[in-house]
Amino acid sequence: MTATETMPAVAGRNRFFDALAPGGRRALFVLGIIAVCLLFAFPVLWLVLTALRPGYAVYYVHRGTDFTLDNFHEVLSQEIVLRALWNSFAISTLATVLSLGVTVTSGYMLSRFRGPIPSVWFSAIYVFRCVPYVSWVLPLYFVTRALGIFDTYWGLLLPHVAVHICFFSWIMKGFFDGIDPSMEYAAMIDGCSRWGAFLRVALPAAIPGLTALAILCWLYTWNEFLFALILTAQNTPILTVVMAQFVHELGMEWHLMSATAVLSLGPALIVTVFGQKYVIRGLKI
Amino acid sequence: MAEVTLSNVRKTYPGGVAAVKDFNLHIADHEFVVLVGPSGCGKSTTLRMVAGLEDISGGTIAIGDRIVNGLQPKDRDIAMVFQNYALYQHMSVYDNLAFGLRNRRVKESEIDAAVRGAAKILSIEPLLDRRPRQLSGGQQQRVALGRCIVRNPKVFLFDEPLSNLDAQLRAQMRLELKELRQRVPTTSVFVTHDQVEAMTLGDRIVVMKDGLVQQVGSPLKLFRQPINRFVASFIGSPAMNFIEMALAAEADKFRLAADGVAIELPQARFAGLGPHVGRLVTLGVRPQHLRLGRARNGEQVAFSGNLMVSEQLGDEQLLAVRIGCGDIRVSGVDPELALAAGAKVDLAVAIDSLHVFDGSSGAAIR
């Protein structure tokens, strides 16, 4: 499409917007933002409402005024939910720490070095990203069983770390691409080894990106369902899977499921609120 | 303080691209050498090989008595200023200056003295607590210089340090660099693509093209006796005029002729032209050497043409004059002189300031 073809459309849109009084423009803008916010907040609001309703009232959440905290009391009194909360937290945190350790160095290698090893590594990541996510689950199931780590921390942790490394090495490469390599050269001349220049100059400069990535990593594992469903059983309950188990042969306990979901929102919300600044700064790099 | 010697240094990148071919240079103690050339001529690669940031494909580099080919950059006792300053963004100016000394485990009290000393020399004392991104380009450049002098290394390396500054600041930093040199006389290698920087800063200039050294010499020598057409065109601003001409011999004169231009040169003064009779040569005339007016016989040769464009610079005018075979530039014309476009212009130039180059190889004929 040429520039001349697109011009009239842009001009037309501007004319409409300009024709509004300044107050009208502002009102339209605010309305638009509210609409978008509602659209995104609605499912969460509904979830919170459902979590606060007694079991018999979940099917007409918009009617009635009986609210209760019993659902939370009930799920928190179930040992499996508490274990799942802890397991999800531990695995998310461990996966973040372990994968970032590799992602940072691998992203740095992809950004700074040329040669056969980075090319092969890059191709491997590319191939991984081309294959549908779901198709890794069954092979991973067999591998974890064969290794004897099925339904253990390691059995879930290692696949997650592998996924993170592949997905986030690219993003990390982008962060390092945005950092001028001459800073590292200066450090090397100033007395650092190649490794020292990475640790003392490149890495501190990448902290905002790294923090953003840590948050994304953590949230990814915290919310992940498919791997958790297939690669764990009774020994290592994971929050997302436990949540789904409120749907059983006797019916669906929406109120309990919602209460667990609201509980699971908590840590994610805390991480997001505190990390928002870094995520935005990191994505700007 | 040290000498730097590059012997038969080569750099070939994987894939066979030869960035530097057989580079030889001896840099004396305290000498300031400028490597200059167009983009991709290998000047930065050469500097980075001296720094140890690039491997050497062949040859040897010595700093002082020590061959440094296999040494890490940190072990070469050099300091380098980069085009974009390369300051450590997450550290204060003070820590930037102290970084190199801390790596060498110098005592904190000595570091403090060295940092404050360097800051004083460069007038950046009030900036020591700031972060690099809070500084202007010129201030960042001073911090980068400070990071070099604080370590008191054997050699300073400069990789186009003034390129990111605006024209006015660049001129000022050039002066500051010269002044700094007088205070801190250290062997220096300076890379630039700007011939003005090369001419003003260098004790000696190395002109490079396509990975090869074209000529090494003092600024004046390069300006007055360029070894080939490339050096002649690269050094000097505005650039030298070139006119392709056919060379013929007549009695005691050589006759150079092109479309609409013919000049005669005495054989006695241009003996080197003899073997080139009957071939094409390139006449080189610097815009600064052309004067308006008729030629004095014997001492000067004449061109005439029509004025195409004049550019007023305030203290002089630059003219573009179309002579039969092309346009030639004239500089240093009286700014008060009113010239109409298309007017006939007579130009004269002293025979001694003419350059003649081989028509095919471009080598200077003397």
Check if the beta carbon of residue B219 is closer than 8 Å to that of residue B36: no
Across the A:B interface, residue pairs with CB atoms under 8 Å apart total 62
- Contacts of residue B76 in chain A, CB cutoff 8 Å? 189
Q: How is residue A47 written in tokens? A: 């979830």
- Contacts of residue B111 in chain A, CB cutoff 8 Å? none
Radius of gyration for the alpha carbons in chain B, expressed in angstroms and rounded:
25
Q: What is the pLDDT of residues A213-248, one digit of tens each?
A: 898 899 999 999 999 999 998 888 999 999 998 888
CA nearest B96: which of B139, B49, B154? B139
CA nearest A207: which of A249, A175, A243, A185? A175
- Show the DSSP H helices in B122-226 as ranges: 137-149, 167-183, 195-201, 219-224
Residue A199 near chain B (CB below 8 Å): no
Interface list for chain B against chain A, based on CB atoms closer than 8 Å: 51-53, 72-74, 76, 78-80, 82-84, 86-90, 99-100, 103-104, 147, 151
Read off φ and ψ for residue A39, nearest 5 degrees. -55, -45
pTM of the model: 0.81
Residues β-bridged to residue B74: none
Residue A191 near chain B (CB below 8 Å): yes
Between CA B301 and CA B316 the distance in angstroms is 23
Q: How is residue B254 written in tokens? A: 């050589």
Contact (CB<8Å) A190/B87: no
> What is the ipTM metric for this complex?
0.84
Check if the beta carbon of residue B203 is closer than 8 Å to that of residue B31: yes
Strands lying side by side in the sheet with B253-258: B261-266, B253-258, B241-250, B280-285, B355-358, B364-365
Pairing of the two strands B187-192 and B32-36: parallel
Q: What is the pLDDT of residues B111-155, one digit of tens each?
A: 999 999 999 988 899 999 999 999 998 899 999 999 998 988 999
Q: What is the pLDDT of residues B67-93, one digit of tens each?
A: 999 999 999 999 999 999 899 988 999
Residue A180 near chain B (CB below 8 Å): yes
CA nearest A179: which of A158, A210, A219, A153? A210
Q: How far is B153 from chain A (nearest CA, A)?
A: 10
Name the pLDDT band for A280 (thresholds 50, 70, 90): confident
Q: What is the pLDDT of residues A132-141, one digit of tens each?
A: 888 889 999 9
Q: What is the pLDDT of residues B201-244, one digit of tens each?
A: 999 999 999 999 999 999 999 999 999 999 999 999 899 999 99
Between CA A187 and CA A191 the distance in angstroms is 6
In chain A, whose CA is at the least distance from the CA of B83? A182
Which residues touch A264 (CB under 8 Å, ≥6 apart)? A85, A88, A222, A239, A240, A243
Is pLDDT of A20 > 90?
Answer: no
Q: What is the pLDDT of residue A274?
A: 81
Q: What is the pLDDT of residue B204?
A: 96
* Cα–Cα separations (whole angstroms), residue A53 to A49, A59, A256, A285: 6, 10, 10, 44
Q: What is the pLDDT of residues A117-155, one digit of tens each?
A: 999 999 998 888 888 888 889 999 999 999 999 999 999
Q: Angle at which helices A79-112 and A153-177 pack, to 10 degrees?
A: 40
Residues β-bridged to residue B228: B363
Q: What is the pLDDT of residue B3?
A: 93
